[in-house]
Amino acid sequence: MCGIVGYVGDKDCASLLVEGLRKLEYRGYDSAGLAVETSAGKVGVVRAVGKLANLDAALAKTPLSGKTGIGHTRWATHGRPSEANAHPHVAGNVAVVHNGIIENHVELRRGLEAAGVKFTSDTDTEIVAHLVHEEMGKKQGDFASSVRRALARLRGAYAIAIVCGDVPETILVAKNASPLVIGIGDGEMMAASDIPALLAHTRDVIFLEDGEMAVLEKKSATLSTLDGKPITRAPKRIDWSPAQAEKGGFKHFMLKEIFEQPRAIEDTLRGRIDVTAGEIVEEEIGVTATLAKKIARVYFVACGTSSHAAIAGRYWVEQLARIPATVEIGSEVRTREPVFGPGDLVVAVSQSGETADTLAAVRTAKAMGAHILAVANVLDSAIPRASDGALYTHAGPEIGVASTKCFTAQLAALLMLAVHLGRARGALSKEEARRILDALLAVPHAMRDALEEAEHVKNLARKYARARDMLFLGRGTGFPIALEGALKLKEISYIHAEGYAAGEMKHGPIALIDEEMPVVVVAPRDAHYEKTMSNLHEVRAREAQVIAVVSEGDKDVVGVDAIRVPVVEPEVLPLVTVIPLQLLSYFIADIKGTDVDQPRNLAKTVTVE
Ligand code: G6P
């Protein structure tokens, strides 16, 4: 996730573009840059690492004056945050900003390098600049047709904005699977990844759809499909307040991020799965097949929500790769005198990549000879830097302190890791791998179905918002989902909640159950269904009110408040069953009026012991 902006009109645009980027900083903030047409045929570029204040300082030193320009604020996916990797990327007098992931970047880059192109960055985006430049050089047709030919060579997700010194006072924008909206002004046109960047200038916008492009000039926005068919689309008027717009019309970032999960999973899977071969693309996963064969134990370390993803990861690694696996929370690793050694693959799971306890555990394990794989959402953060390899989730920045989309992106990454290890070691057949990978690719669709229950969950939240305590139960990979459901509830609504393995209920928590203690049971149709149902009946027999997360079409669950999730393959169930629990916590917290995005006493990134 990155933020892009563009402007063409009569105003000097550098500061206007930076203001637009400021409204998009929630989409990325590790580096930023502008490209402005400073004189006929000339495009000037200024970039800086870090937050926008650094770009301001760079522009104070090297001002860019001109009335056509594009800008970018970056959330790194390919290539660490650095000035060289910051956008815009330039080839000749073509400058490009991009949000998304180009899947076939390796092969395109090899092709361009073989033709003599010298790259100045590690990004997938620079390829786009070179492709457009190459096509412009062929002088066949206009700017738009050159861009069309270049884009036809790309696979993946993009929203891009391009300026070219040879085509003054023009911006070209195009979109496939990443957002792009055009702002229609009076004698000026803008483009941006999201509406907040436009609202200071116009409320009339046109949303570009996948597979479309537009040529923006001062007084016109000419839309067409990527294969050249003209499109007419009337602008829409946006009446959101600036605060609403920042959250995409949602009341809180957390709710927005819950709804962003299908996209976060698509981005995390993108370019990493070869279904035909039943394999994961090795370069993307951070563990080679040779190393996979040597692993004697997988040891997950993580804190908070990430430790729940790690538990699911453990179950998958054991089931699919048949490697002994264990999970430990970071703070306990640094407290004990643990034993690690060669043969251990330590998987450090952390959305921020900065959590002090997880980092300390990584350093301990590394010093004892273990191989470390980081699963992180922030490129080049401390934990990946201290590790031997990294598997990045591509959830984009998460603003809500209580993690949602980063959690499900971690689940997707860990399931890919387990499949990869299983295939490399011969523990998982090609057919089984294909079944699981197909199911994983279908998760975004299933998540969208699960999200459609939001209104129903909101009604249940009204019923349960006054509870003082709640118990969450689950079995198998439903167990970490029960833990996560309980953690979400306590984090944001301050209701005391416990997650338990359903089978463990009889060893203690059952003593607490009465009509005052609502119990949430994660009970989809999986191999554990009947046993979980027995637990559900035990709870019902003690007068507790039950909320049950069940599979669509399950008619056997009666006398409970059921929330239905679509039927999916058992391995991907946790990615779907967690959604109603996230929504339940969110709506309960909202009813109680707590500070959902910044709950008391909690921090997004915990860099202290
Ligand atoms: C904090 C956050 C949690 C997060 C935990 C671990 O407590 O509030 O949402 O799960 O840290 O963070 P990490 O960045 O390592 O996943």
Cα distances (angstroms) measured from residue 156 to each of 99, 128, 159:
11, 12, 10
pLDDT beyond 80 at 241:
no
In testing the pocket of ligand 1, which one of 257, 605, 608, 609 has its CB within 8 Å of the most ligand atoms? 605
pLDDT at residue 451, as a whole number: 98
Cα distances (angstroms) measured from residue 270 to each of 101, 202, 274:
8, 34, 10
CA of 544 to the centre of ligand 1 (A): 32
State whether 291 and 212 are in the same domain.
Answer: no
- Token pair of 355 as six digits: 């959590």
State whether 203 and 269 are in the same domain.
Answer: no
Residue 550 is classified by DSSP as: E
Report if residue 597 sits inside a domain: no
Report if residue 601 sits inside a domain: no
Report if residue 609 sits inside a domain: no
CB distance 303 to ligand 1 below 6 Å: yes
3-state DSSP assignment of residue 214: strand
pLDDT at residue 475, as a whole number: 97
CATH code where residue 43 lies: 3.60.20.10
Q: What's the distance, Cα to Cα, between the start and end of the chain in Å?
A: 30
State whether 264 and 231 are in the same domain.
Answer: no
Percent of the chain scored above 70 by pLDDT?
A: 100
CB distance 352 to ligand 1 below 6 Å: yes
The total number of structural domains in the chain stands at 3
CA of 300 to the centre of ligand 1 (A): 15
Mean pLDDT confidence for 33-61 = 94
pLDDT beyond 90 at 309:
yes
CA of 401 to the centre of ligand 1 (A): 8
Assess whether 604 carries a catalytic annotation: yes
State whether 423 and 470 are in the same domain.
Answer: no
What 229-233 contacts at long range (C-beta under 8 Å, 24+ apart), as own/partner pairs, is 233/206
Angle between helices 14-22 and 52-61 (to 10 degrees): 170
Task: Output the pTM of the full model.
Answer: 0.83
State whether 394 and 338 are in the same domain.
Answer: yes
* Cβ pair 27, 75 in contact under 8 A: yes
In testing the pocket of ligand 1, which one of 254, 257, 306 has its CB within 8 Å of the most ligand atoms? 306
Assess whether 51 carries a catalytic annotation: no
pLDDT at residue 487, as a whole number: 98
State whether 463 and 543 are in the same domain.
Answer: yes
Query: Could you report the per-residue pLDDT of 201-238, keeping only the tens digit for each?
Result: 999 999 999 999 999 999 999 999 999 999 999 998 88
State whether 469 and 490 are in the same domain.
Answer: yes
CATH code where residue 580 lies: 3.40.50.10490
Among 2, 164, 303, 406, which one carries the catalytic annotation? 2
CA of 406 to the centre of ligand 1 (A): 10
CB distance 377 to ligand 1 below 6 Å: no
Query: Which of the residue ranges 284-288, 300-304, 464-468 would you say has the lowest mean pLDDT?
Result: 284-288
Q: Tell me the residue type at 171.
A: I
Question: What integer best gives the mean pLDDT of the chain?
Answer: 94
State whether 116 and 216 are in the same domain.
Answer: yes
Instruction: Categorize the per-residue pLDDT at 574 as very low, low, confident or very high, splitting at 50, 70 and 90.
Output: very high
**Residue 138 backbone class (left: φ over 0; alpha: ψ -120 to 50; beta: rest):** alpha
Q: Give, using CA atoms, the residue closest to atom 5 of ligand 1.
A: 304
- The residues with which 499 forms a beta bridge, in sequence order, are 472
| Strand ranges inside 135-177, DSSP E | 158-164, 171-176
Mean pLDDT confidence for 43-69 = 96
Cα distances (angstroms) measured from residue 420 to each of 279, 292, 438, 499, 555:
7, 8, 14, 30, 37
Q: Kindly report the CA angle at 37 between 31 and 41, in degrees rounded to 5? A: 130
Q: What are phi and psi of 298, to 5 degrees?
A: -110, 130
Instruction: Quickly tell me which residue has 């006929």 as its tokens.
Output: 40
Instruction: Categorize the per-residue pLDDT at 432 as very low, low, confident or very high, splitting at 50, 70 and 90.
Output: very high
- The atom number, within ligand 1, closest to the CA of 304 reads 10
Q: Give, using CA atoms, the residue closest to atom 3 of ligand 1.
A: 304
CA of 246 to the centre of ligand 1 (A): 23
Q: Give, using CA atoms, the residue closest to atom 4 of ligand 1.
A: 304
CB distance 606 to ligand 1 below 6 Å: yes
How far apart CA 485 and CA 470 sit, in angstroms, is 10
CB distance 410 to ligand 1 below 6 Å: no
Query: Could you report the per-residue pLDDT of 28-45, keeping only the tens digit for each?
Result: 788 999 999 998 889 999
In testing the pocket of ligand 1, which one of 300, 334, 352, 377 has its CB within 8 Å of the most ligand atoms? 352
Residue closest to 71 by CA, chosen among 109, 105, 37, 101: 37
Report if residue 49 sits inside a domain: yes
Report if residue 346 sits inside a domain: yes
Query: Could you report the per-residue pLDDT of 326-361, keeping only the tens digit for each?
Result: 999 999 998 889 999 999 999 999 999 999 999 999
Q: Are strands 189-192 and 236-237 parallel, antiparallel or unpaired?
A: unpaired
* Three-class HEC string of 241-262: CHHHHHCCCCCCHHHHHHHCHH
**DSSP code per residue over 481-528:** HHHHHHHHHHHHH--EEEEEEGGGGGGTGGGG-STT--EEEE--SSTT
pLDDT at residue 121, as a whole number: 95
Burial 127-147 (b: 16+ CB within 10 A, else e): bbbbbbbbbbeeeeeebbebb
CB distance 381 to ligand 1 below 6 Å: no
Mean pLDDT confidence for 389-411 = 94
How far apart CA 542 and CA 279 sit, in angstroms, is 48
Q: Which residue has the higher pLDDT, 506 or 223?
A: 223
State whether 289 and 176 are in the same domain.
Answer: no
Q: Tell whether omega for the bond before 384 is within 30 degrees of 0, i.e. cis.
A: no
pLDDT beyond 80 at 244:
no
State whether 294 and 407 are in the same domain.
Answer: yes
CB distance 66 to ligand 1 below 6 Å: no
Q: Which domain holds residue 339?
A: 256-450
The residues, ordered by sequence, that sit 6+ positions from 582 with a Cβ below 8 Å of its Cβ are 258, 404, 485, 488
Q: Domain boundary residue among 428, 450, 472?
A: 450
